Amino acid sequence: MDPDAIEFGVDTALNITVDQNGDDIPGDQVVRNTIEEGVLADSVGIDTFNVAEHYRAGFMDSAGAVVLSAIGARTKRIQLGTAVTVLSTQDPVRVFTEFSTLDAISNGRAQITLGRGSLTDSFPLFGLDLADYEELFDEKLDLFMKLVRDQPVTWSGKFRSALHEQSVYPPLVPGHLPTWVGVGGSPQSVIRAARYGLPVVFAIIGGDPMRFAPLIDLHKRALEQFGHGPQPVGMHAHGYVGETDQEAVETQIPFSMKMWASDDRRPAPSRAWFDHEIEAGSLFVGSAETVAAKIARSVRDLGLGRFQLVYSVGGTPHERKMETLERYGRDVIPMVRDMLRADVDASATRVG
Whether the predicted pLDDT of 351 surpasses 80:
no
pLDDT in tens, 196-213: 999 999 999 999 999 999
Whether the predicted pLDDT of 324 surpasses 70:
yes
CA distance 19 to 26: 10
Amino acid at the residue 220: K
If we measure between CA atoms, which residue out of 263, 246, 119, 106 comes closest to residue 182? 119
Using DSSP, state whether 23 is helix, strand or coil.
coil
CA distance 64 to 288: 29
Confidence class of residue 174 from pLDDT cuts 50, 70 and 90?
Answer: confident
Whether the predicted pLDDT of 344 surpasses 90:
no
Dihedral sign, CA of 41, 15, 316, 9?
negative
Calculate the alpha carbon distances from 348 to 37, 39, 304, 343, 352 in Å: 39, 38, 20, 9, 6
Q: Which residues are within 8 A (CB) of 202 and not within 5 positions of it... i.e. 6 or more apart?
A: 183, 184, 185, 212, 215, 216, 233, 234, 235, 236
Q: What secondary structure letter does DSSP report for 167? A: -
Instruction: Determine if the pTM surpasses 0.85.
Output: yes
pLDDT given for residue 52 in this prediction: 97
Region 272-293: mean pLDDT is: 96
pLDDT in tens, 50-67: 999 999 999 999 999 999
H or E segment and range at residue 320: helix 318-327
Superfamily designation of domain 3-351 = Luciferase-like domain (3.20.20.30)
pLDDT in tens, 88-105: 999 999 999 999 999 999
CA distance 139 to 48: 28
pLDDT given for residue 156 in this prediction: 97
pLDDT given for residue 261 in this prediction: 81
CA distance 200 to 202: 6
Using DSSP, state whether 51 is helix, strand or coil.
strand
pLDDT in tens, 183-200: 999 999 999 999 999 999
Whether the predicted pLDDT of 341 surpasses 80:
yes
Whether the predicted pLDDT of 86 surpasses 80:
yes
Whether the predicted pLDDT of 352 surpasses 70:
no
Confidence class of residue 162 from pLDDT cuts 50, 70 and 90?
Answer: very high
Amino acid at the residue 39: V
Whether the predicted pLDDT of 264 surpasses 80:
no
Q: Which residues are within 8 A (CB) of 283 and not within 5 positions of it... i.e. 6 or more apart?
A: 237, 238, 239, 256, 274, 277
If we measure between CA atoms, which residue out of 294, 313, 324, 320 comes closest to residue 254? 313
Q: Which residues of 189-206 are buried (b: 16+ CB within 10 A; e: fewer)?
A: bbbbbbbbbbbbbbbbbb
Whether the predicted pLDDT of 106 surpasses 80:
yes
- Phi/psi at 181 (nearest 5 deg)? -115, 125
- Phi/psi at 16 (nearest 5 deg)? -60, 125
CB atoms within 10 A of CB 315: 21
Percent of the chain with pLDDT over 90: 88
Q: What average pLDDT does the structure give for the chain?
A: 95
CA distance 241 to 38: 17
Q: Which residues in the chain belong to E strands, given as ranges?
A: 7-12, 48-51, 79-82, 85-86, 112-115, 153-155, 163-166, 179-183, 200-203, 233-242, 284-287, 306-312
CA distance 208 to 280: 6
CA distance 16 to 57: 9
Region 235-257: mean pLDDT is: 96
Calculate the alpha carbon distances from 52 to 78, 82, 113 in Å: 17, 6, 9
Region 28-55: mean pLDDT is: 98
pLDDT in tens, 116-154: 877 889 999 999 999 999 999 999 999 999 999 999 999
Q: Which residues are within 8 A (CB) of 79 and not within 5 positions of it... i.e. 6 or more apart?
A: 7, 9, 47, 48, 49, 109, 110, 111, 178
